[in-house]
Structure 1
Amino acid sequence: MADEKIIIGAETEHQLNGILSIPQTVGSVPAVVLVHGSGPSDMDEKIGSNAPFKDLADGLFEKGIAVLRYDKRTFVYGKEMKNDLELSVKEESIEDTILAADFLRDDSRIDSDKIFILGHSLGGMLAPRIDAEGGNFAGMVIMGGSPRKFEDILMDQNNEVLNSLNPFLKWIAKKQIAAISSKLKNIYELNDEEAKSTRVLGKHVRAYYLKEMGEHSSVNYLRESNKPIFILQGEKDFHVTVEKDFEGYKKLLGERSNVKFKLYPNLNHLFMPSVYGEIRKAKKEYKVAQHVDRQVICDIAEWVLQQGGTSKF
């Protein structure tokens, strides 16, 4: 059987169900760990009627690459975690991804020099930090990520929605967005204790979550890393932009020979064909059942298989 049910963090209090899709071949195979975007998410990263992580796992498996995916900690333990004042991306994502990498290294069927991280959206933003803080991957695949701070992306998304509204709704929304903006502007002036007690988005997102992430900027990790990186974005992605995000990565890393960039025409944030192409219709967009574009999977597989392992870098 190619899909094996596994548990990440079996020795911890946050055990997570996962699946290891592993080709049945002679000798060891390269492997990829999938890291979710923002919010609670299952191992398939199910969004509306779509399951991008299942598509990636199935597609890469067919190309001879093992793929490890697992439920996100906030998906399984969200009820108890939402009241945790100290919650940061470390507890939400980073610790479990490092455990997943270690899990693969302990499997003799996996080539331990060829374990890669593939981060989607927020997962892509966190990938350089995860690598530096103990992931020790052979390389990184960043899909629909950003070198910017998370709160700057949120504000851009809010303003994009605002600009699409009729005048009356715009007037109401403008006040709400201004209130959020003023909260976000001050987060780095708060000390950690103040940040932990300051709500910035909804009932549960506290300033500390954003502050801690912003203080560990992906830009700094990317500058210090010499790992091979593959950066992909859909041209019709309305969560991040070509100008600020894809081009931002190019400005930062474009000189490096071991960094590859690819922009995909007419694909959205899930690397599926664009339907409505507007952020205010996101729910409707993701209700349409689709699959990750075949070319995207082929390109990732080709890139992973071309990498020579950690000893070369």
Structure 2
Amino acid sequence: MKAWKLAAAMAGVVLFLGSCGTDLNTTGDSAASTPAKTEAGTTTEAEQGTELADGELSLEEKSKGLALQVVSGDFASVTAEFNDTLKSSLSEADFQTGWEQVVVQAGSFEEYYKTEVEESSKVYHCILKFEERGVRLSFGYDEEGKVQSIWTDFYAIPPELVENDRWKEQEISIPFTSNGTEYSLTGVLTLPTGVKKPPIVVLVQGSGQSDYNESIQENRPFQDIAWGLAEKGIASIRYNKRYYQFPAQAPDAITVSDEVLDDAATAISFASRLESVESSQIYLIGHSLGGMLAPKITKENAQVAGMISLAGSPRHLADIVYDQNVDALNQMENINELQKQASLAQLKQMIDQVKSVSDLTDTTALIGQPASYWASLNEIDTAALAKELTVPMLFLQGTADFQVKVDTDFAAWKEALEGHENAHFQVYDGLNHLFMKTNGKTDISEYDTQGHVDQKVIDDIAAFIQENAIQ
């Protein structure tokens, strides 16, 4: 991993389809942003005080201590625990600068939240609660107990689960296997109160790593949808994305199956076994990349009775990336037309390369992702899959979405599905990529304004499900 490399998702020129928050990675060995493959668990406050038999602090407690030293500004003590390789690539001054660049966006420190452990590779994630957002400071250790890698990202500390006279939330686990080891993704089942055997939706996020609320800044669109549908008598499942909760499990040759498809299938299977819901009425809601993949997920999971695509697209993700970059370049005032055309020509060359890759084991980096990821997307013809579906489909799009557009992406759905009576379309004036009212911005500062998913969107989703559930 590269030492203290800060990489903001959805920032700079290259943008990716999704709605995830800023993701800052800081590392210190040779494996980019992927630590060794590990088992995982979460420590409690009581467990953090555990000491080894020889009187030395456990790595759990050591990590907590180091994290608190970082917060207090004692960078010298922390860097003293680096191994020689990390010391040679990350100075105390650079470490301090990198940390300060992170916390300036987080506000004042409030408390140590918890430790999450991926023990077999000696990776310890220290979750720190700040005034504005959570920060995850992660330490990886060598065989001598020295810090060999360190990185950080923002962590969405979830609000308390809610139980009231309208719905009840309960934590669930969505299992997956990585390198022969069993893991469980944290999720939430929301059940409407007083409704016997309600229909249920499974929510699938956009690209990047996000929590089960699909949090971005102070916005929680999936929580809004789950609560709104519960008030309409509809249950839901939402869950953490795999590499949000277990970043050490991300393979070098990652595919869209690893990132999205496999866990969506598991969540659908989980829903089908619930006795508290109507298993014949499972609906899929995919947002952004999840909306793009919704036909693929629906086609491969026969339990799905209908699908809703929120700001998805049948176009190739690379084409959307190109369009987003054109928009970004057009907004830049510090480059001339010649520089702009040179940048676009270079990007077009990379887009063409992305569309031609087919090796699912290729780890070569292309536009921010390994070639394997693009190869897996190249195997999916979204429009063709949507045409094959016979279940009801609903496509929703906001006019103020600067990432996925009405005149290209939404229009492409309508063109592909012309004459298909099971396909329904709705556009919402003034709503952004999160289906919240726009603040007028056409960059990621759009999401700095706290909002909620528009009630009309929730009403339309609920009506679509209820109309089809009674047929």
TM-score by structure 2 length?
0.61
Separation (CA, whole Å) in 1 of partners of 2:421 and 2:357: 40
Alignment partner of 2:290: what SS? helix
2:232 aligned with 1:63, yes or no? yes
Q: Deviation of residue 9 (structure 1)?
A: 0.9
Partner of 1:98: 265
Give deviations 1:137-172, integer Å, cap 9, x for gaps: 000000000010000000000001111111527655
2:398 to 234, 242, 245: 234
Tell me which moved more, 127-136 or 51-60.
127-136
1:179 counterpart letter in structure 2: Q
2:46 aligned with 1:46, yes or no? no
Unaligned runs of 5+ in 1: none
Q: Which has the higher contact order (CA 8 A, sep 6+)?
A: 1
Partner of 1:296: 457
1:132 to 299, 306, 309: 299
1:114 counterpart letter in structure 2: Q
Instruction: Kindly indicate whether the alpha-carbon contact (under 8 Å) linking 2:264 and 2:297 is maintained by their aligned counterparts in 1.
Output: yes
More helix by share: 1
Tell me which moved more, 51-60 or 84-93.
84-93
Instruction: Kindly indicate whether the alpha-carbon contact (under 8 Å) linking 1:30 and 1:111 is maintained by their aligned counterparts in 2.
Output: yes
1:108 to 268, 275, 290: 275
1:44 counterpart letter in structure 2: N
Separation (CA, whole Å) in 1 of partners of 2:402 and 2:458: 21
Give deviations 1:281-312, integer Å, cap 9, x for gaps: 32x21011000001110110111111137xx7
Partner of 2:345: 178
Q: Deviation of residue 108 (structure 1)?
A: 1.2
Q: Deviation of residue 211 (structure 1)?
A: 2.2
2:449 counterpart letter in structure 1: V
2:469 aligned with 1:308, yes or no? yes
Q: Deviation of residue 251 (structure 1)?
A: 0.9
Partner of 1:259: 423
Give runs of aligned pairs for residues 142-221 of structure 1, distance below 5 A.
142-168=309-335, 174-192=341-359, 196-202=362-368, 205-221=369-385
Separation (CA, whole Å) in 1 of partners of 2:350 and 2:176: 39
- Does the C-alpha gap of structure 1 residues 192 and 298 become closer, same or farther in structure 2, counting only changes over 3 Å? same
- Does the C-alpha gap of structure 1 residues 28 and 235 become closer, same or farther in structure 2, counting only changes over 3 Å? same
Q: Deviation of residue 255 (structure 1)?
A: 1.4
Give runs of aligned pairs for residues 266-285 of structure 1, distance below 5 A.
266-278=430-442, 281-282=443-444, 284-285=445-446
Instruction: Kindly indicate whether the alpha-carbon contact (under 8 Å) linking 1:163 and 1:170 is maintained by their aligned counterparts in 2.
Output: no
Partner of 2:110: none
Partner of 1:16: 185
1:87 counterpart letter in structure 2: I
Give deviations 1:95-136, integer Å, cap 9, x for gaps: 111111111111111111110000000000011111112253
In the comparison of the two structures, how many residue pairs are matched?
A: 302
Q: Deviation of residue 191 (structure 1)?
A: 4.2
Alignment partner of 1:113: what SS? coil
Q: Deviation of residue 190 (structure 1)?
A: 3.6
Instruction: Kindly indicate whether the alpha-carbon contact (under 8 Å) linking 2:197 and 2:278 is maintained by their aligned counterparts in 1.
Output: yes
Percent identity over paired residues: 36
Alignment partner of 1:16: what SS? strand
TM-score by structure 1 length?
0.91
Q: Deviation of residue 196 (structure 1)?
A: 1.2
- Does the C-alpha gap of structure 1 residues 26 and 134 become closer, same or farther in structure 2, counting only changes over 3 Å? closer
2:243 aligned with 1:74, yes or no? yes
Separation (CA, whole Å) in 2 of partners of 1:175 and 1:48: 34
Instruction: Kindly indicate whether the alpha-carbon contact (under 8 Å) linking 1:180 and 1:200 is maintained by their aligned counterparts in 2.
Output: no
Separation (CA, whole Å) in 1 of partners of 2:356 and 2:462: 44
Tell me which moved more, 95-104 or 29-38.
95-104
Instruction: Kindly indicate whether the alpha-carbon contact (under 8 Å) linking 2:199 and 2:469 is maintained by their aligned counterparts in 1.
Output: no
2:402 counterpart letter in structure 1: F
- Does the C-alpha gap of structure 1 residues 170 and 263 become closer, same or farther in structure 2, counting only changes over 3 Å? same
1:42 counterpart letter in structure 2: D
Separation (CA, whole Å) in 2 of partners of 1:148 and 1:308: 30
1:159 counterpart letter in structure 2: V
Q: Deviation of residue 69 (structure 1)?
A: 0.3
Give deviations 1:173-199, integer Å, cap 9, x for gaps: 654443333122023434416x71321
Instruction: Kindly indicate whether the alpha-carbon contact (under 8 Å) linking 1:192 and 1:208 is maintained by their aligned counterparts in 2.
Output: yes
Superposed CA RMSD in Å reads 1.9
- Does the C-alpha gap of structure 1 residues 29 and 265 become closer, same or farther in structure 2, counting only changes over 3 Å? same
Separation (CA, whole Å) in 1 of partners of 2:263 and 2:386: 21
Partner of 1:250: 414
Separation (CA, whole Å) in 2 of partners of 1:139 and 1:302: 13
Instruction: Kindly indicate whether the alpha-carbon contact (under 8 Å) linking 2:272 and 2:303 is maintained by their aligned counterparts in 1.
Output: no
Unaligned runs of 5+ in 2: 1-162
1:216 counterpart letter in structure 2: I
